[in-house]
Amino acid sequence: MDEVNFSTYPNPNFPFKFIWLRENKINSLRFAFKMTKTFSGNDEEDVEEWLDKICSAAKIWGLNAEEMCNLALLQTSGAAYRFWKYQSIYGIDREFRELSKAFMDRFKPTRSTDKARQDLENVKQGERESLSTYYDRVQQLTLDTRICITVDIVINAFVNGLRDTKVKADVLASKPKTMAEAYQRAAN
């Protein structure tokens, strides 16, 4: 039997497979675009939620990092679009991780930071909440503020939110220097 030279016989399915793959990718982008909303950078919008939706759409529809960036770019308007345009002029790497970090740094709502700080200042131990759960909640609120807070502020928030006034007075009298000391004193 003679050897067949495939270079002289182009694969008849190649153009159709290519068109199918291209159409499939276009449809994926189209559906991903519908799944995500436009982000303009307003205070009412949550950049973390927007980025999560971009990531979710990318996972569902099989988009690569460059396509994720393009999808994100297409889903920006207003201040967010101008920010992206300014960043691209000055050579920000077009990887999605870089894009996410840049958007988080620029558009992390100050209201969420302010709200976290306000939540920390107003934190109260629930009626049925254990001391350890309350302590963990205070620690999480401290992390959520995303700004430097002195240990004294965190200790005061923790102590002022304690449910039992006797325990509160005892912890204040001991003048704890760390959260661990405040927790130990409250637990005893």
Among 40, 75, 108, the domain boundary falls at 108
104 and 123 in one domain?
Answer: no
Q: What's 124's DSSP letter?
A: -
Phi–psi pair at 115, nearest 5 degrees: -65, -40
pLDDT of res. 158: 94
Number of domains in the chain: 2
Among 87, 108, 129, the domain boundary falls at 108
163 CB-contact burial (10 Å; exposed 0-12 / middle 13-18 / buried 19+): middle
The series of mean pLDDT values per 10 residues for the chain, 188 residues long, is 46 44 59 74 82 81 78 84 75 68 76 70 92 91 72 89 92 92 91
**pLDDT (tens digit, 9 = 90+) per residue, 34-59?**
767 788 888 778 888 888 888 887 78
**φ/ψ bin of 62: left (φ > 0), alpha (ψ from -120 to 50), beta (otherwise):** left
CB 53 within 8 A of CB 100: no
pLDDT of res. 7: 46
42 and 18 in one domain?
Answer: yes
124 and 80 in one domain?
Answer: no
Q: Is residue 92 part of a domain?
A: yes
pLDDT of res. 5: 47
Q: Is residue 149 part of a domain?
A: yes
Q: Is the pTM of this model over 0.75?
A: no
Domain hosting 139: range is: 111-187
CB 29 within 8 A of CB 63: yes
116 and 103 in one domain?
Answer: no
101 and 23 in one domain?
Answer: yes
Of 33, 21, 93, which Cα lies nearest the Cα of 58? 33
92 and 68 in one domain?
Answer: yes
Q: What's 76's DSSP letter?
A: B
Q: Is residue 31 part of a domain?
A: yes
Q: Is residue 4 part of a domain?
A: no
Q: What's 149's DSSP letter?
A: -
80 and 146 in one domain?
Answer: no
Q: Is residue 75 part of a domain?
A: yes
Q: Is residue 100 part of a domain?
A: yes
91 and 168 in one domain?
Answer: no
Q: Is residue 8 part of a domain?
A: no
164 and 153 in one domain?
Answer: yes
100 and 59 in one domain?
Answer: yes
